[in-house]
Amino acid sequence: MRSDAILMRLLELHPKIIDLSLSRMERLLARLGNPERKLPPVIHIAGTNGKGSTLAITRAIMEAAGLKVHTYTSPHLVRFHERIRLAGDLISEAELVALLEECEAANGAEPITFFEITTAAAFLAFARHKADYLLLEVGLGGRLDATNVIAKPAVSVITSIGLDHQQYLGESVEEIAREKAGILKRGSLGVLGANAPEVREEIEGVAGKVGAPLKIAGQEWQSYTQHGRLVFQDEDGLLDLPLPALPGPHQIDNAGNAIAAIRALADARISDEAVADGLRKVSWPARMQNLGEGHLRAFVTPGTELWLDGGHNGPAGPMVAQALRDMGNRAPKPLVLVWGMINTKDPTAFICNFKGLADEVYTLQIPDEVNALSAETLVEAAHVAGLEAKAAGSLQKALEQACAAHPAPRILICGSLYLAGHVLALHSGEEASAVSGAAKR
C-alpha cells in the first residue's frame, strides 16, 4: 500500500519512537489550521488498561442509538487504517495517503514523532467529516500525549491505572496517575474508573487543582453483576442490563466507565435501550477474542478452542487469568498458553498469574519484532513463576504441539498486541502493514 511507504518515511523524522512533548504537535497543528479546534464533541480516554474496551463499548452504545461516531485508537493490529474510523468506517487508503502527504508537507524536515504526525493527520480527517462524537484514545500517558491538545473535551475518562511504561511516566502508581490525570480540563467533567485508593486520591487532587468535576467509581456510580446481569447505578437511577459481549469480569468495570461517560453527556438521543443493545453487540479485536474459522484452524484438532488476547503487562495478567478461570468453571478443558512478549514488559509479572491454571505454556519470539523477547527467555520467566514451558519455533508449531499433548484443548495466544496483530493477519490471510513493532505506538 502506498500509505505504508509514507508511514515508513515519517518514522525517520525523529530519532526516538516516543518523546513526550506537546510543542512539536502544537507547531504542526498551527500550520494545518488547527483542526483540533474543529472537532465534534470529544470523549478523551486514558488509562493503563481498559481504555480500548471502554472506547469500544462507548462506540457500540452510541451507534446503537443511531449516532455517527469517529474513533482514534492505537496501536493498530494488522493495518494502520484501524486507528482512524470515520463515522463508523475505517479510513480509506486514498484519504489516508492524501492526509499523510499533507501533514508531511506541512511539517517539512522538522523533528516530530511518528505518533504525533499521524495523530495530526487523524485530526484533519475528523475535522473534515461530520459526526456526533469523537472517541479519542490516549497513546501513552496523558499530560504530554499528542492527543492532549483538546481544550475542552465533553468528558474525560480515566480507566484502571497500574505500573506500565515507567521509563516515561514514573516509577510509582501515584506518578503514573498524575500523568494520566493530565487529560482533565477545567470545567470539563471527568469519569474515574475503579482504582486503588492511592490512585483515586492522586487523581482527585489533580481534578481539584484544575477545576474538573469528577464522577468516581464506587462513589458517584457503580457497576456490578447480579443474577447474570450487569447493574449500573448512579444518582440518576439504576439500569438492569445484559452483560457486555466482551468476555471477562474486568469488562464489567469497562462497561461502567462507558455508561458513566454516556450518562454524563446527558444526550437524550441515547436511550437505556441503546445502552443495552450496545452491550450486546460490542466487539473489540484481541480482547479475549474467540477466533472462529480461519487459516490457523488447519493447525488444531477438532473441538479445540482458540482464543486471542493482547493484554501485555503485569496489571493485565490477573484480568486475563480470571477470565480463563471463569471459562474453566463453566466448561472445563485443558488450558494451554501460547505466549510472546516484548522486552519493555516484565514477563514474570504477567505469567505468574497463570500458575495452577495453565496446564502448559509454549513460548515464541514475536516474528518481525525487533523488541521481542526470545522464546528461551520466556521459558526461563515461566519456570521462575512455577509453570511448565517449552520454546516453540513458530505459532503454527506451538498450536500443533499443544493439540498433540492435550485432546481438544482451550488455547490462549497472549502477551502482546504485536503478537495479536501477527495472529490476526495469519488467521485472516490479510497482508499486514509494513509499519510494525514499537513504531506502531
Question: How many domains is the chain partitioned into structurally?
Answer: 2
Mark whether 330 and 383 lie in a shared domain.
Answer: yes
Whole-number pLDDT of residue 163: 66
Residues whose CB falls within 8 Å of the CB of residue 209, separated by 6 or more in sequence, listed in order: none
Same domain, 269 and 346: no
* Same domain for 269 and 364: no
pLDDT value at residue 431: 87
Q: What's the domain range around 404?
A: 289-440
How far apart are alpha carbons 240 and 279 in whole angstroms?
A: 12
Do 76 and 210 reside in the same domain of the chain?
A: yes
- Do residues 123 and 255 share a domain? yes
Out of 255, 281, 307, pick the residue that ends a domain.
281
How buried is residue 292: exposed, middle or buried, by Cβ count under 10 Å (0-12/13-18/19+)? exposed
pTM equals 0.93
CATH number for the domain that contains residue 258: 3.40.1190.10
Q: Are residues 256 and 110 in the same domain?
A: yes
- Tell me whether strands 237-241 and 229-234 are parallel, antiparallel or unpaired: antiparallel
pLDDT of residue 124: 98
What confidence score (pLDDT) does residue 314 get? 78
What does each C-alpha distance from 105 to 8, 31, 101, 102, 110 come to in angstroms? Answer: 15, 10, 6, 5, 10
Res 282: pLDDT? 97
Same domain, 211 and 334: no
Do 220 and 334 fall within a single domain?
A: no
> Do both 213 and 353 map to the same domain?
no
pLDDT of residue 37: 98
CB 374 within 8 A of CB 335: no
Where the chain has pLDDT below 50, the residues are 437-441
pLDDT for position 19:
81
Residues 262 and 384 in one domain: no
In angstroms, the CA 166 to CA 314 distance is 12
Q: Are 80 and 220 in the same domain? A: yes
At residue 440, the pLDDT reads: 40
> Can you give the pLDDT at residue 436?
63
**172-215 pLDDT, tens digit each:** 989 999 999 999 999 999 999 999 999 999 999 999 999 999 99
Q: Which of 260, 281, 302 is the last residue of a domain?
A: 281
